[in-house]
Structure 1
Amino acid sequence: MSISLRYAARTDIGLGSKSRNEDSGYAGPDLLVLADGMGGHAAGDMASSTVVSELISLDGESYGSDEALRRLATAVHNANARLRDEMDEDPELEGMGTTLIAFLRSGNMLALANIGDSRAYLVRDGVFSQITKDHSFVQTLLDDGRITAQEAEHHPQRSLVTRVLTGREDDEPDLSLREAKPGDRLLLCSDGLPDYVAGSTIEEIITGDGTPAQIADALIAIALKAATRDNVTVVVADVMGESDGPSNTTTPQIVGAAAAHDIGADEQDEPTSPAAKAAALSRAANAPAPSDGDEDDDAAPMLAEEGPRRFTWLKRTLVALLVLAVLAVIGVFGYAATQRQYYIAQHKGKVTIYQGISQNLGPIRLHSVNTVSDVWVDDLPSYDRSKVSSKSMTAGDREAAIGIVENLRSDMVACQAQVADGSSC
């Protein structure tokens, strides 16, 4: 059975302190994408828009279902590699990352990629269900039976994600293939919606009557009414069958950081087909920076060296290359060993898990931001603040590092209680 998508994408910066939208959303005839960036200092919006720009070229193309899943997985891998490239080029972006949910349509099948704590929901035959699983610390507690679903909704650590795209090779999304049926409704949303709006309220809105645009507007409105302090982005799509007629939605919609970064700009004629529009978006996102000037084709040729001097230069060069090769091998294995360690320090005022060791080897950074918690260093007792500042709290794996952060959170809560009682800590 032939199907099509009728869709809408909406976003809002929210009522918090963020000065820019770090979410990116894209909706097209064959592709739905939502990314929630993180990292601060213009890095979160860069991360989400980078990933969206890498995936949009998939829209408007025809794939078999298995091929669609492979193409989607490859595009996510390439997007993650681009994050690493951008951080290598600009150290200020180090530590940025983004969640990702993407649906790629193939006939009546949907290839799905998911990493992070952004969510996808499905309404089928009036039944509302979550079809993605959060990659978060709270979800781990829920899976282990240590907290209930009700406790998970209000857990203070619900913003701590365990898997996102960060440019590392082991950042792998969950991949699956699902059948789409006429009458289905899909909702993709960043955590600015479910963290502030009850699941029952989201269900009431998404299962109600209305077009995807009306439903998307209502979800943004209820999030703002609930005083969401985070960016909030939604993509809503209805699955249409042949008997429903044409979807009347063919123009891709881009919202959030991806739109702010002019990913949709096209310098040439206006594209007319969905495939052409998606290709134009990809070209705009990946266009190289203009050159400062043309190369001088008439540069003077280098003068030839005398034979003995050339031989000496060649010998020294070969020796130097050999030494560099040996150092590189040692460096690779040594660097790999450092990246199996973790330590706690501060990043932009918050308690942060770093991967690696706190030292640098000349210009080589032996550490990177792994996870930024929501615990402010200034809220910790003085003893804990000094330990965070000295970077003396280390862990052999990431789970142990998360445990250290939880202990610091407990100390912070106890300290705040003492202050409230008039004592000092």
Structure 2
Amino acid sequence: MSISLRYAARTDIGLGSKSRNEDSGYAGPDLLVLADGMGGHAAGDMASSTVVAELIDLDGASFASDEALRRLATAVHNANARLRAEMDDDAELEGMGTTLIAFLRSGNMLALANIGDSRAYLVRDGVFSQITKDHSFVQTLLDEGRITAEEAEHHPQRSLVTRVLTGREDDEPDLSLREAKPGDRLLLCSDGLPDYVAGPTIEQIVTGDGTPAQIAEALIAIALKAATRDNVTVVVADVVDGDDDVPTSTTPQIVGAAAAHDVSSDVADAPTSPAAKAAALRRAANTPAPADDDDEELPVLAEEGPRRFAWLRRILFAILVVAVLAVIGIFGYAATQRQYYLTEHDGKVTIYQGISQNLGPIKLHSVNTVSDIWVADLPSYDRDKVAAGSMTAGSKEAAISIVENLRSDMVTCQAQVADGSTC
């Protein structure tokens, strides 16, 4: 039995302080993608749109099921490498990252890649269930039995993610392959929805009657009604029998940062359809740097007799020196990455991995976890410590403990201010 998808993608910037949408969504005949970017300056929206741009070539291609999963994994790996390249080219993008959920259709199978705390849900035979697992600190507590599911919904650290795409080599998504059946409904959403709207409310909307567009619009509306302070993006797709005479769209929909970063307005004969815009975005994100015509091939030197062996000894000695320095550098860098410290990033208390110094062009630190604590809400003595980056830890767990202590100080300070005191 062949299947096809009816789909819709919708987004809103939310009611918080964000001045731009850092989410990106894409829905096409064979590909569904949702990415929730994070980072200061222009980094969050750049991260999510870069990843979407890297994946959209998969839409419309034909793969066997196992091949589809391999191609999806490769595309995610390439997208992560592109994030690293973007950060290397522009220092202001350092520390950016993004969650990712992607479904790639192959026949009646769906290849799934997931990393971060954005979520995918499935409605099958009227049963609503989450089919992705959050990569978050709260999910870790839940897995270890330290909190209940009800406590997880309102935990103050529910926004702390433990795995996202950041350009690091160890950023690996969960990969799986599942069967799709006519009548299934898929929901992909950023945390701007489940962090503010109760699970039963989401379930009631998604399991109700309506087209994917109607369901998507209803979810955005309920998130805004719940005063979501985050960007909120949803992708809804219905699985239908491909042999039925059911009208389906083949025009991709692209929303959020991925649409905003479309460069088509800067060129003549700009594409206007969503499909053309998606193609333009993909081309813009993957245009290689022009070759340097001044580069010249180095000449190969040939020496005779004893001079040849003198050159050989010098080369071998140089290789040995470089090898020794490389080993020292590798072990030294590894040692720095076992350290953590707290400072401000994008206005929030943030855990950095590494040390705050750089070694020439080599960065010895990167954003590990962005908390939901605003630095401006901390007592002045804590603000000074965070600003100075003087709060260090020898493990991530210890760093998270420091974050919790800051949260306690913040709550105490707010209580004192409410009583008319100062802190």
TM over 0.5: yes
Is 2:366 aligned against 1:374? no
Counterpart residue number, 2:26? 26
Q: Is the contact between residue 262 and residue 277 of structure 2 (CA under 8 Å) also seen in structure 1?
A: no
Change (3 A) 1:296 1:99: closer
> Which structure 2 residues correspond to residues 122-271 of structure 1 after superposition, within 5 A?
122-262=122-262
Which is worse superposed, 354-363 or 111-120?
A: 354-363
- Code of the aligned partner of 1:109: M
Change (3 A) 1:2 1:386: same
1:128-186 CA-partner distances (Å, limit 9, x unpaired) = 11111111112222222333322222222211111111111111111111110000000
* Alignment partner of 1:401 out of 396, 399, 402: 399
Counterpart residue number, 1:363? 361
Q: Is the contact between residue 264 and residue 271 of structure 2 (CA under 8 Å) also seen in structure 1?
A: no
Counterpart residue number, 1:2? 2
Quote the Cα distance in structure 2 between the aligned partners of 1:350 and 1:118: 20
Which is worse superposed, 236-245 or 376-385?
A: 376-385
Which is worse superposed, 198-207 or 242-251?
A: 242-251
Shift of 1:336: 1.6
1:276-304 CA-partner distances (Å, limit 9, x unpaired) = 9976653243124679xx9579x9xx9xx
Counterpart residue number, 1:349? 347
Unaligned runs of 5+ in 2: 300-307
Change (3 A) 1:214 1:349: closer
Counterpart residue number, 1:95? 95
Quote the Cα distance in structure 1 between the aligned partners of 2:58 and 2:374: 41
* Alignment partner of 2:336 out of 327, 335, 338: 338
Quote the Cα distance in structure 2 between the aligned partners of 1:19 and 1:381: 26
Quote the Cα distance in structure 1 between the aligned partners of 2:346 and 2:280: 37
Quote the Cα distance in structure 2 between the aligned partners of 1:91 and 1:314: 40
Q: SS in structure 2 opposite 1:244?
A: coil
- Code of the aligned partner of 2:35: A
Counterpart residue number, 1:306? none
1:383-407 CA-partner distances (Å, limit 9, x unpaired) = 4334323433222222221122112
Change (3 A) 1:263 1:117: farther
Q: SS in structure 1 opposite 2:221?
A: helix
Q: Is the contact between residue 26 and residue 255 of structure 2 (CA under 8 Å) also seen in structure 1?
A: yes
Quote the Cα distance in structure 1 between the aligned partners of 2:382 and 2:39: 24
Quote the Cα distance in structure 1 between the aligned partners of 2:333 and 2:256: 37
Which is worse superposed, 14-23 or 371-380?
A: 371-380
Shift of 1:248: 2.0
Quote the Cα distance in structure 1 between the aligned partners of 2:154 and 2:409: 19
Quote the Cα distance in structure 1 between the aligned partners of 2:41 and 2:294: 38
Counterpart residue number, 2:42? 42
- Code of the aligned partner of 2:348: K
Q: SS in structure 1 opposite 2:401?
A: helix
1:47-91 CA-partner distances (Å, limit 9, x unpaired) = 000110111111111111111111111111111111111111111
Shift of 1:187: 0.4
Change (3 A) 1:202 1:111: same
Counterpart residue number, 1:55? 55
Q: Is the contact between residue 192 and residue 231 of structure 1 (CA under 8 Å) also seen in structure 2?
A: yes
Change (3 A) 1:264 1:210: farther
Q: CA RMSD in A?
A: 3.1
Superposition TM-score, scaled by structure 2 size: 0.89
Unaligned runs of 5+ in 1: 303-310
Q: Is the contact between residue 2 and residue 243 of structure 2 (CA under 8 Å) also seen in structure 1?
A: no
Counterpart residue number, 2:304? none
Q: Is the contact between residue 416 and residue 422 of structure 2 (CA under 8 Å) also seen in structure 1?
A: yes
Q: How many residues align?
A: 415
Quote the Cα distance in structure 1 between the aligned partners of 2:264 and 2:226: 31
Quote the Cα distance in structure 1 between the aligned partners of 2:315 and 2:378: 54
Superposition TM-score, scaled by structure 1 size: 0.88
Counterpart residue number, 1:418? 416
- Code of the aligned partner of 1:22: E
Shift of 1:97: 0.3
Which is worse superposed, 316-325 or 54-63?
A: 316-325
Quote the Cα distance in structure 1 between the aligned partners of 2:311 and 2:92: 38
Q: SS in structure 1 opposite 2:367?
A: strand
Quote the Cα distance in structure 2 between the aligned partners of 1:423 and 1:67: 64
Counterpart residue number, 1:307? none
